[in-house]
Amino acid sequence: MIGLGKAFCVSATCAVLVGAASFLAVDRGLFAADHLDPPGRTDAAVDPNPDVAADIADVYAWHTANNVVIAMTFAGPQPASRAPTYDRDILYTINISNNAVPFDPEFQIRFRFGFNGQAVGVQFTGVPGSTGPIEGPVETNLVQGPVVVRAGLFDDPFFFDLQGFKETRSTGKLSFKNDRNFFAGQNDTAVVVQMPRSALENGTNPIRIWATTARFGGNI
Amino acid sequence: MRRSLRLTAGVASLSLALLLTACGGGDSKTSTPVTPPAQSAPLVIPAPSGANFNVLPCLSQLVAPGKTVANLVVPDTVTIDLNAPSGFPNGRRLTDSVIDITLAALFLDLTREPVTRFVNLPLGPQANEVPFRPDFPYLAPANGNATLPPFAASGFNFRTDAPAAYTRVDRMGMPAVATVVIGPNEKLNYNDGDPINDDKLQYYPEINRTLKAFADALSDDFAAANLKMCATPN
């Protein structure tokens, strides 16, 4: 059984998910942006009980004239038919440093999922520009002042020739194809956080962002 | 140089010293203990006979004014200068071709090749298969018709446990750093670490080992394609 027992999945599809995950484990290999890494905890090809919910896929961060946007994807890539993965026991953290010490976060955006029956909610704390926790249903824009957050199921935004990389690594020959995107048509569960850049700016210091996941009660 | 470091191999010491110079400042006052990583078996990639390259020039080359390739990898964070235009490696937009840019920075001599060389070929796919949304939440809608949970406005049973009650599973900053330059036997240690451990160059031997395996293996292909490598023959 893969690690979906505490995650959201519609009961009729849970058995299908197990089979789908097993198939993907054979097909995906070890390289992506961060999908299935570390394999010893998140890749069914290596770990018979992978922590799918805690598997970070990607971290995106960009700025506009007024805002900084961070998108964090996880639990993917997964087939388009699979329900999103919401696990109450995972603590997701987006760390942000905005001073001269690049590894000491001044801000820690934390989010977790909770349930009301089969309904799923998300709670954010520590979002720069917010005045307190932000919580509400998934698949919904949650607004607090200048801050907007959302959790839900999205297209996997990463594009890469995974097969080409695997062939390159196994043969030592460059084998990429620019018309082959392994991640096309697949989904991730994800959150997007939009906050005012004024809440993050600290003179001319760059801001540094990294994400972590952690499981309540220890690794599965 | 901000601190002394001890390595057993002389070559590694020299490389590390040069990399430290490239990495810039740091601060050990917030150090957190992390178990030193075990020595890992080198990544084995079939390479042409006699290929033996030094990848240190790759890590110390400039990828942007004042920023070396090593600066992109250590510490492993997405970095944004809010006063400069947005776009990888200044942040990471959804549309950025991060892998082709990263591969160019890691393997090509950026004094003789543009960092966009692989993007311009192009080496890999250059865009998502569906368009991103212009406005929040920016990510494209999910594919297919997956069953979504029913709606409730409130009443969710969020955990209230302190972060100390949770055990690290995964971490990520820059794309492809943990997955490409950290070998399989170092994965757990790396993901249990933090940027402060990156800053202490705890994973540098593994980064050097993995990049060398790729550089040795691909040296003949780069030469055949007339691509100028940053790695130099030993």
Share of chain A above pLDDT 90, in %: 70
Contacts of A38 in chain B (CB under 8 A): 170, 178, 187-188, 190-191
Arithmetic mean of pLDDT, A178-186 = 95
Asked if the C-beta of A15 comes within 8 angstroms of chain B's C-beta atoms, the answer is no
Arithmetic mean of pLDDT, A71-78 = 96
Instruction: With respect to residue B145, please indicate whether it lies within any of the assigned structural domains.
Output: no
Instruction: With respect to residue B13, please indicate whether it lies within any of the assigned structural domains.
Output: no
Closest CA to A155 of A129, A131, A184: A184
- Give the pLDDT band of residue B72 (cuts 50, 70, 90): confident
The SS3 of residue A46 is: coil
- Say what the pLDDT of residue A69 is: 98
Beta-bridge partners for B141: A154
Question: Any idea which residue has 């004042």 for tokens?
Answer: B66
Q: Give tens-digit pLDDT for A103-148.
A: 899 999 999 999 999 999 999 999 999 999 999 999 999 999 999 9
Nearest residue, CB atoms, A102 vs list B77, B151, B172: B77
Instruction: With respect to residue A6, please indicate whether it lies within any of the assigned structural domains.
Output: no
Asked if the C-beta of A98 comes within 8 angstroms of chain B's C-beta atoms, the answer is no
**pLDDT of A5 higher than 50:** no
- Give the pLDDT band of residue A53 (cuts 50, 70, 90): very high
> How many domains does one find in chain A?
1
Q: Which of A9, A37, A68, A219 best probes binding to B when mutated, by most B CB atoms within 10 angstroms?
A: A37
- Say what the pLDDT of residue A7 is: 43
Q: Which residue has the higher pLDDT, B24 or B223?
A: B223
Nearest residue, CB atoms, A102 vs list B47, B126, B195: B195
Beta strands in A56-198 (DSSP E): 56-63, 67-78, 90-97, 107-116, 119-125, 134-137, 142-144, 147-155, 187-196
This prediction has a pTM of 0.86
Q: Is B123 exposed, middle or buried (0-12, 13-18, 19+ CB in 10 A)?
A: buried
- Say what the pLDDT of residue B157 is: 98
**pLDDT of B226 higher than 80:** yes
**pLDDT of B80 higher than 60:** yes
CA pair distance B18, B56, nearest whole angstrom:
8
Asked if the C-beta of A82 comes within 8 angstroms of chain B's C-beta atoms, the answer is yes
SS (H, E, C) chain B: CCCCCCCCCHHHHHHHHHHHHHHCCCCCCCCCCCCCCCCCCCCCCCCCCCCCEECHHHHHCEEECCEEHHHHHCCCCEEECCCCCCECCECECCCCCHHHHHHHHHHECCCCCCCCHHHHCCCCCCCCCCCCCCCCCCCCECCCCCCCCCCCCCCCCCCCCCHHHEEEEEEECCCCHHHHHCCHHHHHHHHHCCHHHHHCCCCHHHHHHHHHHHHHHHHHHHHHCCCCECCEEC
Instruction: With respect to residue B90, please indicate whether it lies within any of the assigned structural domains.
Output: yes
Instruction: With respect to residue B104, please indicate whether it lies within any of the assigned structural domains.
Output: yes
> How many domains does one find in chain B?
1
**pLDDT of B35 higher than 50:** no
Q: Give tens-digit pLDDT for A148-157.
A: 999 999 999 9
**pLDDT of A102 higher than 80:** yes
Q: Which residue has the higher pLDDT, A12 or A216?
A: A216
Arithmetic mean of pLDDT, A19-29 = 29
**pLDDT of B208 higher than 60:** yes
Instruction: With respect to residue B89, please indicate whether it lies within any of the assigned structural domains.
Output: yes
Instruction: With respect to residue B199, please indicate whether it lies within any of the assigned structural domains.
Output: yes
- Give the pLDDT band of residue B66 (cuts 50, 70, 90): confident
Instruction: With respect to residue A34, please indicate whether it lies within any of the assigned structural domains.
Output: yes
Share of chain A above pLDDT 70, in %: 85
**pLDDT of B16 higher than 90:** no
The dihedral through the CA atoms of A91, A94, A97, A101 has a sign that is positive
Interface predicted TM-score (ipTM) of this complex, two decimals: 0.86
CA pair distance A198, B106, nearest whole angstrom:
34
- Say what the pLDDT of residue A124 is: 98
- The residues near B65 (Cβ < 8 Å, ≥ 6 apart) are none
**Domain region containing A165:** 11-215
**Domain region containing B216:** 50-126+168-234
- Give the pLDDT band of residue A38 (cuts 50, 70, 90): confident
Instruction: With respect to residue B18, please indicate whether it lies within any of the assigned structural domains.
Output: no
Nearest residue, CB atoms, B123 vs list A115, A135, A178: A178
Instruction: With respect to residue A118, please indicate whether it lies within any of the assigned structural domains.
Output: yes
- Say what the pLDDT of residue A13 is: 29
Q: How many Cα atoms occupy the beta-carbon half-sphere of A133 within 13 Å?
A: 11
Neighbour-count burial for A65-75, b at 16+ CB within 10 Å, e otherwise: eebbbbbbbbb
CB-based contact A31 B176, cutoff 8 Å:
yes
Arithmetic mean of pLDDT, B225-232 = 96
Instruction: With respect to residue B101, please indicate whether it lies within any of the assigned structural domains.
Output: yes
- Say what the pLDDT of residue B73 is: 87
